[in-house]
Amino acid sequence: MAGFLGYRCSVCDTHYGPDEATYTCPKDGGNLDVVLDYDHIRDSVTLNDIETSNDHSIWRYLPLLPVDDPGHIGTVLRAVGWTPLLAPFMLREKLDLPHLWLKDDGRNPTASFKDRASAVVVARAQQVGAEVAITASTGNAGAALAGMAAAVGLPAVILAPKSAPPAKVAQLLIFGAKVFLVDGTYDDAFDLSLQAAQEFGWYCRNTGYNPFTAEGKKTAAFEICEQFSVATNDSDGKRWQVPDAVFVSVGDGNIISGLHKGFKDLKELGWIERLPRLFGVQSTG
């Protein structure tokens, strides 16, 4: 939090202080990137501090996150991240890719990568004193918000298109979220959630809108570099390792941009020397 300087618009490059913007650029609606004080971070934490942390979750990277420690030891927020980097031996042979690794984010509390974003968004919501959190979602983002919000007793409202998979809607209900099935597309649910957030003063988690989602998602890049340095055994524990390429499943593009931000943070800090090539992958249709 001490290293949180504010935001930079990805379209017009305008800088905003922490209290001068909330979601998107007030001028042009562009996405905001969180700006960190790298000098301050470099002075206050070392790679060794992080490597020796007993916190096996995204919170081991707290000095690089724009939120305060959420506390709530032992709750769901504390169980997000530090997912295993797996060596899939049979898949390596089958694909003839001997250096393939898999980051298994299905191990997160609500079973998707989205928990990283929702944990940081909920920490932010606590800080700004939000009384309700809302998001539009086709499934996983809503489940992650519902789960993380439940962990801190924050009411969650999820707007899902009526085509959302029933199993996903069930997961939202199990976490105690208020679910509205919108008679329209995801985009309709998205627009409606912005209106509700504006009208009722609720805190909005929407992907591609709230800048704290990418800050949560970037923690996977930190983990990849830290775990990869151990897995490949190339370093003496000093330098974190960067894979040649990272393949990311893409919808809105928030995960891939979050990963990019994470690798960029590490490079700015001088903790890695180069960025990996990032490949976005989508299924047909």
Ligand X SMILES: *Cc1c(COP(=O)(O)O)cnc(C)c1O
9 binds, among ligand X, Zn ion, none (CB under 5 to 8 A by kind): Zn ion
Cβ distance to ligand X smaller for residue 218 or 229: 218
Restricted to residues 178-237, the positions that interact with ligand X (CB under 6 A) are 207
Contact letters (x/-) for Zn ion, 7-46, by CB under 5 A?
A: --x-xx------------x-xx-x----------------
25 binds, among Zn ion, ligand X, none (CB under 5 to 8 A by kind): Zn ion
- Interaction between residue 114 and ligand X (CB under 6 A): yes
DSSP the chain: -TTEEEEEETTT--EE-TTT-SSB-TTT-PBEEEEE-HHHHHHH--HHHHHT-S--SGGGGGGGSSS-----TTSGGGGSS---EE--HHHHHHHT-TT--EE-GGGSTTSSTHHHHHHHHHHHHHHTT-S-EEEE-SSHHHHHHHHHHHHHT--EEEEEETTS-HHHHHHHHHTT-EEEEESS-HHHHHHHHHHHHHHHTPEE--TTT-HHHHHHHTHHHHHHHHHHHHHS--SSSSSPP--SEEEEE-SSSHHHHHHHHHHHHHHHTTSSSSPPEEEEE----
Cβ distance to Zn ion smaller for residue 33 or 68: 33
Contact letters (x/-) for ligand X, 118-147, by CB under 6 A?
A: ----------------------x-------
- Interaction between residue 252 and ligand X (CB under 6 A): yes
- Interaction between residue 254 and ligand X (CB under 6 A): yes
Q: Which residues bind ligand X (CB under 6 A)?
A: 112, 114, 140, 207, 249-255
